[in-house]
Amino acid sequence: MRRRKPGPWYDVSVRLVVAECSVEYDGRLGARLPRARRLLVFKADGSIAIHADSKAYKPLNWMNPPCTITESGEVITVANPKGEVLTIELHEVLFDERFELGDDPGLAKDGVETELQELLAARVAALREDLKLVRREYPTDLGPVDLLCRDGEGRAVVVEVKRIGEIAGVEQLLRYQERLDRDGMLAPTIGMFVATRIKPQARVFAESRGVVCVEVDLETLRGGAPDGLRLFE
């Protein structure tokens, strides 16, 4: 077995481990990954993802931050405040390194998304009459929220703007909401997913999570008229 470098699992760097390992999950249900070679990704934000060489980007199992990560011998235990626990047994470590990634500028939007965001920031009431803009590009540790607004009842509305609305965009919005819901001045937030076209699967997924979907017409927004907005409730 390759000797691992000393130091905590959770620090300011990203840690990548390739190992023969088995994994036990104890939480809302029980699940087990038998022994196999996998990639373990420990990120500086406190999250962990366990990947196989398949299933594209989707991990076999994961834990969102905040997590408590401890190591005892060849066993790594990851626990979150909800009482969920991942227990990883390392049978053979093939690679174990840390990397400093530094600050990330975030995903650059294409021209249409940028223009949509600018137009909507100038007239958020087009999305809903009682909305008022708090800030465009509201910062979080995951990247900036496109638009943060307040509705007529003072509730925080998190708006994610896309050219084409897909499931990945809804997931991004939900991650932003999860972060902002930790702030007592903002929680509980309302999610609003805005695009020129929202794919059916994305709309179903969004609505199942309580997210409001709004389709907008770019040309109508450029002209300043409100009738290019179509709201699906």
Tens-digit pLDDT profile for residues 18-43: 999 999 999 877 889 999 999 999 98
Residues 205-232 pLDDT 10s: 999 999 999 998 888 888 765 444 544 4
Q: What is the longest distance spanned by two Cα atoms in the chain? A: 66
Alpha carbons 70 and 78: distance in angstroms, whole number: 7
Place of tokens 């109508």: 220
Residue 202 contacts residue 165 (beta carbons within 8 Å): yes
Residue for token digits 């481990």?
17
Neighbours of 231 (CB within 10 A): 12
pLDDT along the chain (233 residues), means of 10: 40 86 89 94 89 83 88 93 93 93 62 84 90 94 92 96 93 94 94 95 94 90 58 42
Q: Let me know: does 193 contact 213? Beta carbons within 8 Å.
A: yes
Q: How many CA atoms lie within 13 A of 5 on its CB side?
A: 11
pTM of this structure: 0.55
CB neighbour list of residue 111: distance below 8 Å, 6 or more residues apart: none
Three-state secondary-structure class, residue 209: coil
CB 194: neighbour CB atoms within 10 A?
Answer: 24
- Domains of the chain with CATH codes: 14-99 (2.70.180.20), 111-232 (3.40.1350.10)
* 209 backbone dihedrals φ, ψ, rounded to 5°: -100, 10
